[in-house]
Copies of this chain bind each other. A is one copy, B any other.
Amino acid sequence: MDEDILYHLDLGTKTHNLPAMFGDIKFVCVGGSPNRMRAFAQFMHKQLGLAGDGEDLADICAGTDRYAMYRAGPVLSISHGMGIPSISIMLHELIKLLHHAKCRDVTIIRIGTSGGLGIKPGTVVITDTAVDSSFKPRFEQVVLDDVVVRSTELDKDLAKELLACSKEIPDFPTLIGHTMCTYDFYEGQGRLDGALCSFSSEKKLEYLKRAYEAGVRNIEMESTAFAALCGLCGLKAAVVCVTLLDRLEGDQIRAPHDVLWEYQQRPQRLIAAFILKHLGLCPPAGNKLFSTN
């Protein structure tokens, strides 16, 4: 191709010097919410001790409102919206961007929110295997009108390294488990409180308990596609999500905003610790990495 327009990122090979803009990126962090990914970039800016207070980071994708993208040193922080189709579009264009920019040895981590299964709300789950709604480690991709089954394996060493990092942040629990990925938040995750519901509370609990027994510790909506696409393209990938509630206890997310906000910072703090360690850096004095206050 003479020109590659990354339409949903509002970037392109003729309009932007991608190697100059992104060639030194080593870590890419992705998550659903644009505000959260902006907050993460600001947090990383401070942790890396970069000049300025990081409050005025520019959205690199400002020309579109499909996704938001920020950078802090070698870290790129991008939103992906909700669900497999939305993250797939972003990943296709991000992976092309990394290719055009000639990036090397990039680690990509999804830092998200999820529903927990049999674990305390606020627990951070590092995914060992992403599974579908039948608890199988596979992602079914429609290619033209065929269905292709893809592996959802993630980098096991990276997961172990992240768990080791979590030991240094003692004020919240972190564990490794399977993550179930669904196409729907309500019926697809066995919620009784959607606009439609055709099953009983007993059927719901029976399903969620089966998921727990199969090793599932949290439920979200992007991990299988993320694992499959990153795996096929040779990116070292991890999924680290905080749980906002225990689905065995209920369906609605009832925690106050400030509690949810603190929960959402937990994966960010873990990933910041991991990145600093990899860069051989220490967190700046008085930083908030290892404390919530």
Contacts and interface: CB of A to CB of B under 8 A. Distances in A.
Interface of A: 1, 3-5, 7-8, 32-35, 63, 65-66, 81-86, 88-89, 91-93, 95-96, 99, 133-135, 141-145, 148, 182-188, 190, 193-196, 198-199, 203-204, 207, 221, 229, 232-233, 252-254, 257
A96 B207 CA distance: 24
B33 A65 contact: yes
A145 B134 contact: yes
B1 A193 contact: yes
A188 B141 contact: yes
A196 B233 contact: yes
26 contacts: A3-B252, A4-B252, A5-B252, A8-B185, A63-B257, A66-B82, A81-B83, A83-B83, A83-B84, A84-B85, A85-B182, A85-B183, A86-B86, A89-B186, A92-B185, A92-B186, A92-B196, A93-B195, A96-B194, A135-B145, A141-B184, A143-B199, A144-B199, A144-B204, A144-B207, A145-B207
Contacts of A33: 65-66
Contact of A85 (B1, B83, B93, B195): B83
A85 B88 contact: no
Give me the 10 closest cross-chain CB pairs, A-B, nearest first: A83-B85, A95-B195, A144-B207, A92-B194, A92-B195, A35-B65, A82-B86, A81-B81, A143-B187, A89-B185
A205 to B, nearest CB: 11
Nearest to A81: B81
A99 B194 CA distance: 12
B232 A88 contact: no
Given A4-B193, A195-B95, A253-B5, A141 B187 contact: yes
A226 to B, nearest CB: 13
A34 B64 CA distance: 10
Number of this chain's copies in the complex = 2
Contacts of A183: 84-85, 88, 142, 183
Nearest to A211: B145
Contacts of A96: 194-195
A190 B145 CA distance: 9
A142 B89 contact: no
A183 B83 CA distance: 10
Contacts of A186: 88-89, 92
A82 B83 CA distance: 8
A191 to B, nearest CB: 9
B89 A82 contact: yes
A30 B139 CA distance: 29
A102 B145 CA distance: 42
Nearest to A190: B144
B195 A91 contact: yes
A130 to B, nearest CB: 15
